[in-house]
Amino acid sequence: MTGRSPQVCSAPGLQTCQYRGVEKRSSAGERLLETASALFYARGIGAVGVDAVVAQSGVSKPTLYAQFGSKDGLIAAVLDRRRWTRQEALTEFLAGVSSGPEEKLLAVFDWLALGHAKPGFRGCPFTNAAVELPDAGHPGRAVILAYKNWLRTTLADLAADAGLADPEELGSDLLLLIDGANARVVHSGDSDAMRRAGSAAARLVAAARTPPGRAVPGPGISTRPNKHTED
């Protein structure tokens, strides 16, 4: 149970929904979502038509349209499922970080770097989708924006909890690092991009807590507490 307040869900294909993060759909809707999610990510949204989705899922085309209304509706539903899954996964990961908010803030990059290291990773699904969905009125764009705003707010809230200067601006700057690393892995295959983005984030965090007149650690100098150092 997530602890969120119950919500009424009206998305096509949704049978019941107690909490947005644990939607329950019909078995046909679930197969369509799982199949479309895998195909869209592996091949690209534009390269996958509804014929491919119904053929691989074993669900009829009329059922797809009855469940999601259109391919655009299916795209939005796939992104929405990914959004809640990722938000809950990151929230759970951060809950397991025993140190303070500054360490949790940098741990966001650790979590993202773990995803970059997985076989088959081909970039952030939301960034990839944004490139393929240029129309601002596409229903999937609202889901992408919601996820990015949630991530930026999470970063800013952790920065504020850590007492860092200008937490809102810092949250936006850290999101820029994340988006840059996600783009780099797509165009150059740099699987180490997010780890290095984390190092850059540590320097930004150090600058945000460094009193005026004190030097900021340079590249290659760790700003994280050494857990093995005794008092």
In a domain, 45, yes or no: yes
pTM, 2 dp: 0.79
Q: What is the pLDDT along the chain (231 residues), one digit of tens a residue?
A: 333 333 333 333 333 332 344 455 679 999 999 999 999 999 999 999 999 999 999 999 999 999 999 999 999 999 999 999 999 999 999 999 988 999 999 999 999 999 998 888 888 999 999 999 999 999 999 999 999 999 999 999 999 999 999 999 999 999 999 999 999 988 887 888 999 999 999 999 999 986 655 444 444 444 444 444 333
Token pair 């949704």: residue: 14
Between vectors from CA 79 to CA 73 and to CA 84, what angle results, nearest 5°? Answer: 125
Whether 116 and 65 map to the same domain: the answer is no
Q: Is residue 179 part of a domain?
A: yes
- Answer yes or no: is 86 within a domain: no
Q: Are residues 181 and 216 in the same domain?
A: yes
3-class SS of residue 14: strand
Kindly state whether residue 84 falls inside one of the protein's structural domains.
Answer: no
Domain extent, residue 56, equals: 6-79
Last residue of a domain, one of 29, 53, 79: 79
Identify whether residues 72 and 112 lie together within a single domain: no
The answer to whether position 206 is within a domain reads yes
Query: Do 33 and 110 reside in the same domain of the chain?
Result: no
Same domain? 104 vs 201: yes
Tally the domains of the chain.
2
Rounded CA gap, 70 and 16, in Å? 20
What's the CA gap between 132 and 57, in Å, rounded?
23
Q: Are 73 and 114 found together in one domain? A: no
